[in-house]
Amino acid sequence: MGYPDLAEKYFIRLLNQLPPNDHLRGDLYEDLAKLAAQAKDYDKSLQWRKKALKFKNEHSSESSTNI
């Protein structure tokens, strides 16, 4: 994507609009981590990756019970 700042802005806007347990949050956290890594902001990237991992671990049991 040619506009990483704009992409980050829209990803964060979407995060703010999603319910706290929406499964798309984990994907958005990962996308934000990738954007930060592309911008060479590795600390921020690591924070987003940790958040993605935590979210997916906490919500993996919920998604398996919905099957």
Task: Per residue of the chain (67 residues), give pLDDT as tens.
Answer: 478 789 999 999 999 999 999 999 999 999 999 999 999 999 999 999 999 999 999 988 765 555 5
The full set of domain ranges for the chain reads 4-60
pTM for the model stands at: 0.84
**CATH 1.25.40 for domain 4-60:** yes
| Nearest by Cα to 2 from 49, 35, 26 | 35
Which pLDDT value is given to residue 1? 47
Distances in Å between the Cα of 49 and the Cα atoms of 20, 29, 66, 67 are: 17, 7, 25, 26
